[in-house]
Amino acid sequence: MIAKLTGRVEALEDGRCVLDVNGVGYLVHASTRTLAALPAGGTAALLIETHVREDAIVLYGFSEPAEREWFRLLTTVQGVGAKVALGVLSALSPRDLVAAIQAGDRASLTRAPGVGAKLAIRLLTELREKAGAMPTGVAFSPVLPPRGDAASDALSALLNLGYRRPEAQAAVARVAERLGEGAALDHLIRDSLRELAR
């Protein structure tokens, strides 16, 4: 079973990406939230959930442990397959999911593709007692900025400015790759801020 992959983001497509790990391209399905944090052509790490079927081996990737745990929990609910679970995670972050379930917010759940009123009620009913114990935060670094003090310092500066880690790491990784090794810290920060402003 594959639990984690680290490699170059070869391609970003609708609902999936290709991760090149030492010359082998892995097709990984993911939520729009995870895909948005990946730098095209940059290096990234994804937590992986492997599903083995009779006709295929399918990989699902996650930028943070909380998202993977929610994927696992969502797929235990009758009527929720991997595609619907990714749709829910695309519409709602783990933190939003906990809040929606605890508040009984059916409307928020039905924003996810594939979730109608009946399935939303089933999700609320079956997950109400489990939601409080589920993780909500980011504790895994999906994008690996290039090694070097300047990149680390730039990432730290962006985090101190209030940017979320996945977006900040993706921006620093893209800028550091573009500027090359030995880029000055002020250039890294300035260009990363421009990336984040887009």
pLDDT tens for residues 150-192?
A: 887 888 788 777 777 777 777 888 888 888 777 888 888 888 8
Q: Which residue has the higher pLDDT, 156 or 13?
A: 13
Cβ 47 vs Cβ 10: under 8 Å: no
The DSSP annotation for 36-100 comes to: HTSPTTSEEEEEEEEEE-SS-EEEEEESSHHHHHHHHHHTTSTT--HHHHHHHHHHS-HHHHHHH
Note the pTM of the prediction, 2 decimals.
0.67
- How far apart are alpha carbons 120 and 128 in whole angstroms? 12
Q: What's the pLDDT score for residue 44? A: 92
Determine what percent of the chain is predicted with pLDDT higher than 90: 43
What average pLDDT does this structure show over 27-55?
A: 91
User: Looking at residue 138, what is its pLDDT?
Assistant: 44
Measure the CA–CA gap between 145 and 173, rounded to whole angstroms.
4
State residue 90's pLDDT score. 92
Whole-number pLDDT of residue 96: 86
- Which is more confident, 116 or 172? 116
Q: Going from the N-terminus, what domains does the chain have, and what CATH number goes with each?
A: 4-62 (2.40.50.140), 65-131 (1.10.150.20), 149-197 (1.10.8)
pLDDT of residue 142: 45
Total Cβ atoms within 10 A of residue 49: 23
Least confident range from 82-96, 109-123, 151-165: namely 151-165
